[in-house]
């Protein structure tokens, strides 16, 4: 599960962001003051920082600069009520990866977060073969076996499995699967993901009604357990 720190002194905005991020499947830390925000940003294991520009104690500019010195690879999105070009340039020059002006749409912000987290993921060697339970998968030949017997899977089903396996043990949101496997321009729905998971369980799980490997996470999506 990805962890996001939100540093925002407007409690209404802070609680709204916290609620929406948790709904999307993220772990959330919060701070309402600059010095506390900097301490948490530097000392806590984080995957992304959502940082307000105007904060009591220490500005978002100062926090961004200091975080960049110690965590050069941490994705940072700045939040601000200012919309002038000079403010955006200053924030980006200090090391922010993206910039969102208030008021902002939650859906757009979540899409920006997902995109930034994807870009920051380390690129490892592409998965070629993988086994779990009674299942053996060959991602190069697009072949699958269960208990030594061939099972037919579509290329898209292999793509779904690859993404789940690459994020084994993590809660994977349906929207992440849609974005990464299908692409939003294909106009799929979360029901598409659910149908694919249902079919995969029928083909790969010993008991599809009581899956052991492709688990449902209520309100979020799915988790792969080897």
Looking at the chain, which residues constitute the CATH 3.40.50.2300 domain(s)? 3-120
Class for the domain spanning 3-120: alpha beta
Which residue is listed with tokens 């990866």?
A: 97
CATH topology of domain 129-224: Arc Repressor Mutant, subunit A (1.10.10)
Torsion angle in degrees (nearest 10) through CA of 9, 11, 13, 14: 80
Whole-angstrom distance, CA of residue 137 vs CA of residue 116: 30
CA dist 215 → 209, 221, 224 (Å): 11, 9, 6
Q: Which residues of 61-76 are buried (b: 16+ CB within 10 A; e: fewer)?
A: bebbebbeeeeeebbb
Looking at the chain, which residues constitute the CATH 1.10.10.10 domain(s)? 129-224
Per-residue confidence in pLDDT tens, the chain, 226 aa? 789 999 999 999 999 999 999 988 899 999 999 999 999 999 999 999 999 988 999 999 899 999 999 998 899 999 887 665 556 566 666 778 888 888 888 888 988 898 888 777 765 557 789 999 999 999 989 999 999 999 999 999 999 999 999 888 888 988 888 888 877 555 567 788 899 999 999 999 999 999 999 999 988 899 999 8
Whole-angstrom distance, CA of residue 191 vs CA of residue 182: 13
């Amino acid at each position: 599960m990805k962890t996001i720190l939100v540093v925002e002194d407007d409690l209404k905005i802070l609680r709204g962001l916290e609620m929406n991020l948790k709904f999307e499947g993220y772990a959330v830390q919060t701070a309402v003051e600059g010095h506390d925000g900097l301490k948490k940003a530097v000392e806590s294991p984080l995957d992304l920082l959502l940082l307000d520009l105007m904060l009591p104690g220490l500005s978002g500019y100062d926090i961004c600069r200091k975080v960049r010195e110690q965590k050069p690879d941490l994705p940072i999105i700045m939040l601000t009520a200012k919309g002038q070009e000079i403010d955006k340039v200053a924030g980006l020059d200090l090391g922010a990866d993206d910039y969102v002006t208030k008021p902002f749409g939650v859906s757009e912000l979540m899409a920006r977060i997902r995109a930034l987290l994807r870009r920051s993921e380390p690129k490892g060697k592409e998965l070629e073969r993988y086994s779990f339970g009674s299942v053996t998968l060959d991602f190069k030949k697009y072949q699958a076996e269960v208990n030594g017997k061939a099972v037919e899977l579509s290329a898209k089903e292999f793509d779904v499995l690859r993404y789940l396996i690459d994020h084994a043990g993590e809660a994977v949101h349906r929207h992440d699967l849609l974005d990464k496997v299908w692409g939003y321009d294909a106009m799929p729905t979360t029901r598409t993901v659910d149908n694919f998971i249902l079919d995969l369980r029928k083909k790969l799980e010993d008991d599809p009604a009581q899956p052991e490997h492709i688990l449902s996470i209520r309100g979020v999506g799915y988790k792969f357990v080897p």
